[in-house]
Amino acid sequence: DTEVTQTPKHLVMGMTNKKSLKCEQHMGHRAMYWYKQKAKKPPELMFVYSYEKLSINESVPSRFSPECPNSSLLNLHLHALQPEDSALYLCASSRPGWGRGYTFGSGTRLTVV
């Protein structure tokens, strides 16, 4: 299995909703990442988990809450989002350390209404 699987593929949520994005990989990668990508812009790093511990939080607002329940799963809990949070949310994984290519999932296209 050489894939990173993200669900759902599309999500529309209201500003008062609570939802979660899910990411799963079975490649034995112990580093997992959340990126946010706005239209026609490059991906921007949000969070990094290394060995199931949060190692980087790029000053992301608290309405985004990551969780890494085990080495294969990464969640992103969403609450009270704003319309400007609408974007493609990409999950990626890699072996920890430099010199490791990342494998990206297909993303969740999120629309906040």
Query: Per CB under 8 A, does 31 bind other proteins?
Result: yes
Query: Per CB under 8 A, does 71 bind other proteins?
Result: no
Smallest gap, in angstroms, from Cβ of residue 105 to other proteins?
Answer: 6
Smallest gap, in angstroms, from Cβ of residue 16 to other proteins?
Answer: 28
Residue (55 or 82) nearer to other proteins, CB = 55
When binding is defined by CB under 8 A, the residue of 13, 27, 80, 88 that contacts other proteins is 88
Question: For residue 109, what is the enclosing H or E element?
Answer: strand 108-112
When binding is defined by CB under 8 A, the residue of 43, 81, 85, 87 that contacts other proteins is 43
What size, in residues, is the chain?
113
The Cβ of residue 44 has, within 10 Å, a number of other Cβ atoms equal to 14
Inter-CA distances, 13 with 30, 35, 37, 56, 90, Å: 30, 19, 18, 26, 17
